[in-house]
Amino acid sequence: MIGALLYLRLHSLVNLVVHRVRRLRQPKYLVGAAVAAAYFYLVLLRRPGAVPPGAAAVPGMGGDPRIAITAICTVLCLLGLLRIAYAWISPPEKPGLRFSEAEIAFLFPAPVTRKALIHYRLASSQVAILLTAVLMAFIFNRFGYLGGHRALRAIGWWVILSTYDLHLNGTNLMLGSLRERSRHFLLWRLGGVAAIVLYVAAVLRAATGPVEALLAGLGGAQSGSERVMDQIAASPTLHWLSLPFRIVFGPYAASGPGEFAVAMVPALLLLAVHYHWVSSTEARFEEGSISLAERRAAIRAAAQRGEIPGMGEAKPRARPGPFPLASLGPPELAFLWKNLISVRSSLLNRRVLMFVLVVMAAMFMGPLVSLRTESIGVDAFMKIIGALCAMFAAYTILVGPQLARQDLRNDLPNADILKTYPIEGWRLALGELLAPTAILTAALWVELLGCAAAVDGRTLTAGVRATAVVCLALAAPLVCLLQLIVPNWIMVLMPGWYQASRSRAGGIEVFGQRLMFGVIQLFFALAVLVPAAGAAWLIIFSSQWLIGAGPAIVLAAVVVLPVLAGEAAFGLWWLGERFENFDLSSESR
């Protein structure tokens, strides 16, 4: 039976590769693949000024590579421990193994033993783990600083990732089994969490010495990092506490083939123990697997709609409209109303808001603490805030249109229905773009206020600042609209390139296509905004001597804003025309 399952996996993989290779006959995929290949070569494979693969670590690039490897392993151990602790603190209601919906439909009702299904699942996960291992080896050995042979490093990564995958699955299944069978499930969980906490406390206590050595070594003859390594090696408590992790990370951390071969023996033994543990589980995983598959399908569908995978809700919730929509009036507002509902449902959930707040708090915490401890003055603090706001504004203009996609891009699956509506193309395009324009404009206005507040009062008077803010605030919606027209243009021009259909996107060539779209977006921003900004600057510079700074800014706005508005109007008209003649079905032929 396992042969049939492996046949399924192998042929699915082969067919996927053949399909991807065949579609390279289409120029859009060939160009995308070439761009992605060039990117990977330049970013991951080429090692400027580095030693060839297999050579020893590069000296003088930040010290002993053992320290870097130890740091990488320590961070990974912490992350792994955190994830396992989370599994004990909040175990899944129904533990499941990762099957696709098609696998569930075909395999669960088939005469296949549970053990065979588990073997199949574990074997299936190896494809992703192997690819990840190779990628990690390339990323972490990017500059050759860590030394060692890439192939051995990749195998080391494979051991780490496979053991982690098995351990996490085993923990979830064991907890699921305990939930079903034990009346003392809560006690089991508390015991597990307590064990992890005690372990971490013991490690921290044992690590106090090496940390002190690090601090004492700062500025000393022997570097602090070398002292830490010496202390770790000399501490018996740390030696035993870290043993399981050292076994798992041993092959990765090995400095040569001999050390690698020795490290592989206990690592493979531990892996085998984990495999036996998971494959012999009696826990019921079927229901959990179905829930997991449904959730993954929902997240994938959300990703295809352009939403942030895993950040939005798997199931949208019904929400009231942002404003009452009368049945008579401009139809563009109906699209704004509809798309704002989708924004509120998909993005503004608690988790995303928390994430944004945490990031904002982290970014502003440093300047605030410095201000409180009087290590910097108020002016410097405001400059930091202004710089942050300017940076966010640049991101809003350049990256925002890729994130705020509540426009034609989201509605493309409903293109047939949209095209039966009695509305001119440009009005439909305008309506569709209103919601993301409003979102990005609101963000830009806040960032603009932050920048204005940061400008030194001695540099610009309050009146000039207020005039500049008002003029820039007027330009903001036009700039956002223009930037949003670009990805929508690309989509209606090349829907196949844009992965606009309901089919699943993927592959290196699609990655390359997205890279190209990013470059096009940047190029367009430069082509539209730089001349406008240059013209405005020229007008202000040449006229402020005659009429003063404030009126010069107004004059520049009077000249530049109609130009931007004209460009936006042309863009909308063209987008609407193209959409009216757009036929998605021809793309699939």
Partner 1 sequence: MIEVEALTKRYGSFTAVRGLSFSVRPGEVLGLVGPNGAGKTTTLRCMAGIIPPSEGRVRIAGHDLASEPVAAKRSLAFFPDEPRLFEYLTVRQHLNFVARIYGVADYEALATPLLEELELAEKSDVLPGELSRGMKQKLVIACGLLHSPRVMFFDEPLTGLDPLGIRRMKDSIVRRARSGAAIVLSSHLLHLLEEVCTNVLILKKGDKVADGTLEQVVAKFSNGEENVGLEEIFIRATGGSES
Minimum CB distance to partner 1 smaller for 350 or for 589: 589
Query: What is the Cβ-side half-sphere exposure of residue 192, based on CA atoms within 13 angstroms?
Result: 21
Contacts of 26 (CB under 8 A, 6+ apart): 496
Burial bucket for residue 64 (CB in 10 Å: 0-12, 13-18, 19+): middle
Q: What one-letter code names the amino acid at 499? A: Q
- Quick one: tokens of 398? 């350049």
Please tell me the distance from the alpha carbon of residue 295 to that of residue 293, in angstroms, as a whole number.
Answer: 5
Residue 331: CB minimum distance to partner 1, A: 5
Minimum CB distance to partner 1 smaller for 222 or for 414: 414
Residue 584: CB minimum distance to partner 1, A: 9
Contacts of 96 (CB under 8 A, 6+ apart): 172, 285, 286, 287, 288, 289, 290, 291, 292, 293
Q: Is 210 helix (H, G, I), strand (E, B) or coil?
A: helix
Minimum CB distance to partner 1 smaller for 567 or for 580: 580
Minimum CB distance to partner 1 smaller for 375 or for 581: 581
The footprint of partner 1 (CB under 8 A) covers 315-319, 321, 325-329, 331, 333-334, 337-338, 341-342, 345-346, 411, 413-417, 419-424, 580-581, 583, 585-586, 589
Minimum CB distance to partner 1 smaller for 379 or for 583: 583
Residue 396: CB minimum distance to partner 1, A: 24
Task: Give the angle 239-162-240 at the CA atoms, nearest 5°.
Answer: 10
- Quick one: tokens of 316? 């949208």
**Runs of H (alpha helix) within 218-253:** 224-234, 236-241, 243-253
CA distances from 577 to 424, 434, 483, 493, 573 (A): 9, 18, 18, 11, 6
DSSP label of 312: S
- Quick one: tokens of 551? 């009126």
Residue 341: CB minimum distance to partner 1, A: 5
Minimum CB distance to partner 1 smaller for 25 or for 183: 25
- Quick one: tokens of 448? 């603009």
Please tell me the distance from the alpha carbon of residue 586 to that of residue 589, in angstroms, as a whole number.
Answer: 5
Minimum CB distance to partner 1 smaller for 117 or for 340: 340
Minimum CB distance to partner 1 smaller for 317 or for 350: 317
Query: What is the Cβ-side half-sphere exposure of residue 311, based on CA atoms within 13 angstroms?
Result: 15
Please tell me the distance from the alpha carbon of residue 123 to that of residue 275, in angstroms, as a whole number.
Answer: 11
Minimum CB distance to partner 1 smaller for 415 or for 516: 415
- Quick one: tokens of 368? 């605030």
Place of tokens 């530049």: 560
Minimum CB distance to partner 1 smaller for 423 or for 553: 423
Residue 333: CB minimum distance to partner 1, A: 7
DSSP 24-85: GGSHHHHHHHHHHHHHHIIIII--TTPPPTTSPPPTTSSS-HHHHHHHHHHHHHHHHHHHHH
Residue 427: CB minimum distance to partner 1, A: 9
Please tell me the distance from the alpha carbon of residue 223 to that of residue 202, in angstroms, as a whole number.
Answer: 26
Residue 518: CB minimum distance to partner 1, A: 27
Minimum CB distance to partner 1 smaller for 33 or for 340: 340
**358-361: long-range contacts at Cβ-Cβ below 8 A with a sequence spacing of 24 or more?**
none
Minimum CB distance to partner 1 smaller for 318 or for 546: 318
